[in-house]
Structure 1
Amino acid sequence: MFSLRLCSKKPFSTFISTSSPPRLINWQHLPRTRHLRQLEDRCLQRCYAQVAKKPISKPTLSPAEQAKQQAKAAAATAGSKHYEVAERLLIYHAGTGRITFLAMVKVTTLFLGAFFTFIVVPGYVKAEKPEWETLGVALCGLIPLFFVAYTTSPFVSHIYIHLPPVARVSRPVLERFIHALPPSTEFTLTTMSAIAKPRYSTMQVGHLRPAKRRFGIVNYVRDAEGAIAENETRKWYNLRAMTKFGVQEAGVEKKKLKGKKGKDLTEAWIWDVAKSKIEKRAVTEKAA
């Protein structure tokens, strides 16, 4: 109450006497006025001072609840947020040397088959050679072509993972998402056609199953239902969806930058986690 009265009281009323002539100071009240001036300063400080806020103690959340909160925040700002992680990550690379060699083999056998089929065989027919010789020459061009196509078509050169906005907030959130890895997460497996052209097969990770076919060349197969659904969306002249894949063990692919150390461009640890989950899911389904 005393401080409020000081705030409302005029402090200079005793400093300038109203009974004295204008512009004359009453020196008798000067010490008291200085004291009141100090009290007024303290009063103003109390009037305009803000009460210090006490820190609110938040309850500690579990890692799962923290991940949910971060996921909700990421979904709320999905349109305007600059994500730290890319939407598509390369998680497997078979190796540049292996891919280049396989592409050269495919193209070479293709030219070889075309040479025997369209050049040598017509020459034998025109020269009226025996039929068994003509057939043997044709097989010399066709057998390598079909053999290479059969054994190399499942070869997977790249694997990409498509991340939802929830997993792209930061690296720790990405690691938690990968270790959980929902079966609906989409993967894109890249293979090569007969002319070494890339073929992209997009599917859910839950549709992949470990297998051992074609003398061990194929080690993963895709559910037939997903392949049938994808074939329905394709034109009649397009190639059918791939169902057999061969993912070989490969080292980490590195790109050497000029003047800098090699930078790893492959998130190989993601494929390692996905591979272990695919195998565990297959064992669980067999046990059930």
Structure 2
Amino acid sequence: MKRARVAYSGAIHYAVEADGNLRLDDGRIVEETDVVWLPPVQPRTAFALGLNYAGHANELSFKAPAEPLVFLKGPNTFIGHRAKTRRPANVTNMHYECELAVVMGRTARNVKSENAYEYIRGYTVANDYVIRDYLENYYRPNLRAKNHDTCTPLGPWLVDKEDVPDPMNLAMRTYVNGKLMQEGSTRDMIFGIPELIAYLSSFMTLSEGDLILTGTPEGVVDTKAGDEVVTEIEGIGRLVNRIVADHPSGTTGKT
């Protein structure tokens, strides 16, 4: 089943897909354009992977890591489907990253990779923008580059794990203003979903609601204010986002 969180008529609702529309938790049927889409989950702890696709590491002139390169993301970064991402003033390179996001379904500690799928609730799509200007090296990689407000659209749907037979073989695509710019597959991850859950749970407890962003394939390019960016993953969803200018005064310009 595909599940969503939306704001409608002054309240937040959980909703499911219903023949191209949304059925709210109170039974009302509304059109997808009539709601404000929120991230389908509110992450407790959000983990993100750097350089988890060899092609992406190569296009950035980095070597593929010998073990997962993991960093954390704050809740301020996450926005929903059809929301706007602010591009900071004076940056020269801000690019999208289409990523499969794994949502944990229960507490996990010292999980073996062969049992990892038992701990997953479902999957969603993330577009984890990175401000390349701030990315220096392995030792100071991602906090400032990856934690700006509104920089990680998430959604539209949380898809139950039972509806995704093989999450390690899903096509991934990114379109900028309707033009295909990025194409890959989750099968090309360096560290797959079971390995990531085993790795993280080997030294810390994972909890229900935790989120793991699993990295992006090659094909990233700079984006500008006014661009519409669509990231889609086979069987999971199509996430639409627009970039707006963030002016030095802190106000968002019209685009």
Q: Which has the higher contact order (CA 8 A, sep 6+)?
A: 2
Taking structure 2 as the reference length, what is the TM-score of the superposition?
0.25
| Bigger fraction of residues in helix | 1
Q: What is the TM-score of this pair, normalised by structure 1?
A: 0.23
Greater strand content: 2
